Structure 1
Amino acid sequence: MRVLKPPGRLKTRPTMRQVAAHARVSLKTVSRVINAESVVSPTLRSRVQASVEHLGYRHNLQASSLRRTDSRSATIGLVLRDAANALSAPLSNEVESIALKRGVLVFTGSSHDDEEHDRELIWAFSCHRVDGLIVVGTTQNTDLLLAEHRAGTSIVLVDQLESTFDSDHVVTDDFQGTQLGIRHLIANGHRHIGYLGGPASDRTIRRYRGCVDELRAQGWPIDEHLVRLDVHDSEAAETAAAELLSEARRPTALFASGSQIALGTYRVLRRLDLNRQVALVAFDDLLDADLTACGVTVIAPDPVALGRAAAKLLFRRIDGDESPPVHHLIPSRLITRATGEIHVMGLSGPAVQRIAR
């Protein structure tokens, strides 16, 4: 097989002047083509683009930003919790897709839920004079974000409902998502549903309210004996789930309000050999791989919709929109796998449908 050798390296990059000389046009014409101005004729545009390709010219955005009167850098920063998780990839791809259509480069980094690392990322992006920031997940660095906002950087927060920073927010609709999960269990004939909620926060309150509201809407008040709140982790979830399943009239289904709670609950169902008898639906904020492997039916954020809404809102601000901050709710999704589709014992098909009415 013939191996192609790379061409010799140029000592300097091709310039706009060289493109103009090669295309036999003025420097101004090259500038207009590079900046996608519409005043250039198709014939001249094609000639300039052919010279750009032939010479390997690349537009120097850094130099352009120094000359701009609005001081824009044509870059934005995206702070993710973890770029490797299943939620981050589609969210990041959507932000990049929208940004690239505007000729904007996206700097991306992971905070790993570490306050100091999160601060270093925001600081680094600000030093590069990004035009805007999208910050996903919880951040404690509101003082730095406030300073950036005062300096003119547009900021959008994603799924940060506990933030004290009054900025634009794009958030998953927790209330609607929990309603969706409870409705799914009811549709499979379940009325005796246990609920396991996380540590006290605005988010967990909304999820619990969604459960109560949906049960009442269907004509069944919630059974307080089947509610366990302030469940902090998977171990606490195991204890809480074991208690619920030891009730004289145990629940036929469980709703877990977070991924760690769901993992602990699923372990107990497996240990008691009830994983094919008791249904389980969980709210999964991060599209947890372990829940996927276990076949747990989940209510999950829509990462593409979150990324799209955040990017569009950010560019609106960069373009000069100075209206008051907005909170944009993004509907949650139901992802059916196995555990949420278990019918009430002895009921299936038409019988379940009659009860669900």
Structure 2
Amino acid sequence: MPQGGQPPLERQNRPTMRDVAALAGVAIKTVSRVVNGVTTVDPVLAARVTEAADKLGYRPNLTASNLRRSDGRTATIGMLIEDAANPFSAALTRTVENAARERGVLVLIGSLDEDPARERELVSALIDRRVDGLVIVPAGRDHSYLIKEQRAGTCLVFLDREPQLLDADAVVSDNRQGAINAVKHLLDAGHRRIAYLGDRTTVATAVQRFAGYRHALELAHIEVDEEIVRHQASTVEAAIEATEQLLRLPHPPSALFTSQNLVTIGASRALRTLGLHQTVAHVGFDDFPLADMLQPGISVIAQDIEALGKLAAEILFRRLDGDQSPSRTFTVPTRLIVRGSGEIRNGESRHDRTR
């Protein structure tokens, strides 16, 4: 017996439509019509059904009712993101959820952890549950496996990254131009030795941001120095280690461009640990919570998360409503948020380069 001497609760079967009909003294068909919102049911009978349902705690079986719908819809969509714990992914998810809620649609969410095999596994699981459509932040580089599902009627919208080997809608940020703007901002502050810390090169957004970094340096007639480039700093811990290595070089960088929010957080922590946060300039790609509360605040290239998520949801629902127009890729601009770290000028103060 559980603590407190209370007997264990007995698990009971959920009340059925038949139970409601018996208590209300009506036919099952009448209960079905009331539950499905048919307005021609006699008000007295409808009131009896509603009262009986409330008394029994009856909840309609949405799965069963959806199977009977003529359009085959389930009022659910799937959303696959990089990592639900990442602030960017969480904010994207919430925006899509808000749009879906306005239409009475439930969002089923899964994290891919940059694993192509997990992407296929979760896509299959969601399609098996008959979701009406999918919003995907893809991990893989081959999405041809979705062609047959697309032909079968599953609507697809790719978010943050474009699909590969598949013709489908996509909503992305202007990653390359955002990176160009970040590096140019550091160049304008007098920096010439600007380090790059980014995600894995298998991630499409990382490739685009590194391309922007290279292009900005080329425009300034500065060669990329591979000694101050780090591509595998995809976690906070990896970014801390990479930043510390860079700043202990014989000729360390005077500025950092970090191309992902977790990398930015790790680099910021390393700068503070080394006491260099007031002397080494820093611009990150992606905003993150409390970035404005640090001293100095972290200057970032911010993605318009609300616009990204809202547009992806709108496109998906337009497709579900019958839009047959050719697929498109929509690019959402980024913006520079100036907070202090990116405005530290080169040579404004000197740090100990012999550590």
Regarding TM over 0.5, the answer is: yes
- Report what 2:352 is aligned to: none
CA contact 1:77–1:132 (8 Å) conserved in 2: yes
Shift of 1:61: 1.6
1:168 aligns with 2:169: yes
Deviations 1:134-187 (A, max 9, x none): 11142245132222112211111111236232211111221453355357657x
Matches within 5 A, 1:155-304: 155-161=156-162, 163-178=164-179, 181-182=182-183, 185=186, 190-193=189-192, 194=194, 196=196, 199=201, 203=205, 206-207=208-209, 221-225=219-223, 231-234=230-233, 238=243, 241=246, 246=251, 251=254, 253-258=255-260, 262=264, 274-284=276-286, 287=288, 296-304=298-306
Give distance in 2, aligned partners of 1:184 and 1:41. 70
1:104 aligns with 2:109: no
Give the 3-state SS of the residue equivalent to 1:152 in structure 2.
coil
CA contact 1:233–1:261 (8 Å) conserved in 2: no
- What amino acid sits opposite 1:144 in the alignment? Y
- Report what 2:353 is aligned to: none
Could you say if the C-alpha distance between residues 14 and 204 of structure 1 is closer, same or farther in structure 2, counting changes exceeding 3 Å? closer
Deviations 1:61-112 (A, max 9, x none): 2112222222222222222222222222232233233333333332222222
CA contact 1:241–1:265 (8 Å) conserved in 2: no
- Report what 2:64 is aligned to: 63
Could you say if the C-alpha distance between residues 246 and 316 of structure 1 is closer, same or farther in structure 2, counting changes exceeding 3 Å? same
Number of residue pairs matched by the alignment: 335
Give distance in 2, aligned partners of 1:178 and 1:34. 54
Give distance in 1, aligned partners of 2:338 and 2:21. 56
CA contact 1:81–1:113 (8 Å) conserved in 2: yes
Could you say if the C-alpha distance between residues 143 and 208 of structure 1 is closer, same or farther in structure 2, counting changes exceeding 3 Å? closer
TM-score by length of 2: 0.71
Could you say if the C-alpha distance between residues 266 and 34 of structure 1 is closer, same or farther in structure 2, counting changes exceeding 3 Å? same
Give distance in 2, aligned partners of 1:262 and 1:303. 18
Structure 1 alignment gaps of length 5 or more: 348-357
- Percent sequence identity over aligned pairs: 38
Give distance in 2, aligned partners of 1:207 and 1:107. 30
- Report what 1:93 is aligned to: 94
Give the 3-state SS of the residue equivalent to 2:140 in structure 1.
coil
CA contact 1:200–1:230 (8 Å) conserved in 2: no
CA contact 1:168–1:325 (8 Å) conserved in 2: yes
Deviations 1:263-295 (A, max 9, x none): 78668856875431121102249x599999896
TM-score by length of 1: 0.70
Give distance in 2, aligned partners of 1:230 and 1:345. 21
Which stretch of the first structure deviates more once superposed, 328-337 or 313-322? 328-337
State the Cα RMSD in Å: 4.8
CA contact 1:179–1:211 (8 Å) conserved in 2: yes
